[in-house]
Amino acid sequence: MAKNTNPNTHEANVFKAKCPDCDAELEIPADTEIGEIVSCSGCGLELEVKAVKDGCVDLQELTIEGEDWGE
């Protein structure tokens, strides 16, 4: 979970988080909802918002399961 701990952020409604892959700092809008997809500006990794609570946002690498065509 990443928490907005910096009171001097350029916007009060932005959470700070780190990319789990490249450690780039991400700015997540405070109005982001569970299930939304955000992309890392550093490496392009797509992350899914798993939880938003009390100034914290939980991100997880997006996994897309392939179609099972019954083969």
Domain boundaries, the chain: 2-61
Beta bridge pairs of residue 25: 18
Query: Phi, psi at residue 18, to the nearest 5°?
Result: -115, 140
User: Band of the pLDDT at 6, cuts 50, 70, 90?
Assistant: very low
For 38-71, the pLDDT digits (tens) are 999 999 999 999 988 877 888 999 887 777 777 6
| CATH annotation of 2-61 | 2.20.28.160
* Residue matched to tokens 């997006």: 62
- Predicted local confidence at residue 30, as pLDDT: 84
Read off the tokens for 38. Answer: 């955000």
User: What are the E-state strand segments in 1-71?
Assistant: 2-3, 14-18, 25-29, 37-39, 46-53, 56-61
Residue 71 CA to residue 49 CA, distance in Å, equals 32
